[in-house]
Amino acid sequence: MVNPKQLERCVQEPDFALENFPLLFSAVSSGEESHQNNASEALENCGVPSITAIPILLAQLQNGDSTQVYWACTLLGRWFAQYTDTTSQSHSESIQDHVCQVFHRELESSAKERAAWALGQTQHLKPSCRKTLELQLENASPRFQRLIETALQSSPV
């Protein structure tokens, strides 16, 4: 059950939103339009997740619906762009594998496009993820193709 007052607080307080991802991911796919809107706004404004939030985001990649996967990829892309030090690099490579699995799920194109965008935010794309992206080019829409090409170009071979 989604608590509307907590959702409103997430919209107003980005730090509170970062601490309440389970609530936001539940609300973003609820049947209630106002809950979906508030959760989307909170996720849009919450900034970069901490490393401690990564397991929640990875669970959304594996089990979430298209909307949940879209937002998990958005947050992971922000994380990729923010954390480029060597300590985070090993985490990044593991997370990239999870993001690449999105391409093998039956999801809306927006979720897969956001996964390609997220991979484009990392500075060191794993060779296996590069190959996965290259395979996606075969049947890609023009928008998806641009996102894949940007991801491939953003990280040196």
pLDDT tens, position by position, 32-90: 999 999 999 999 999 999 989 999 999 999 999 999 999 999 999 999 998 865 556 66
Output the pLDDT for position 25: 96
Is the predicted pLDDT of residue 142 greater than 80, yes or no? yes
Cα dihedral across residues 10, 11, 13, 18: positive or negative: positive
Structure tokens at 34: 């106002």
- Helix ranges (DSSP H) in the chain: 4-12, 14-18, 21-28, 33-45, 54-63, 66-82, 86-101, 109-119, 127-136, 142-154
Q: How confident is the model at residue 14 (pLDDT cuts 50, 70, 90)?
A: very high
Residue 28, amino acid: V
Residue 127, amino acid: P
Q: Could you give the maximum distance between any two Cα atoms of the chain, in Å? A: 48
State what percent of residues in the chain have pLDDT above 70. Answer: 94
Output the pLDDT for position 85: 58
CA distance readout (Å), 67 to 14, 23, 85, 139, 156: 20, 14, 30, 22, 30
Output the pLDDT for position 156: 67
In this predicted model, which residue has the larger pLDDT, 155 or 77? Answer: 77
Q: How confident is the model at residue 119 (pLDDT cuts 50, 70, 90)?
A: very high
> Can you tell me the mean pLDDT for 129-144?
95
In degrees to the nearest 10, what's the CA dihedral of 101, 95, 81, 154? -50
In this predicted model, which residue has the larger pLDDT, 81 or 112? Answer: 112
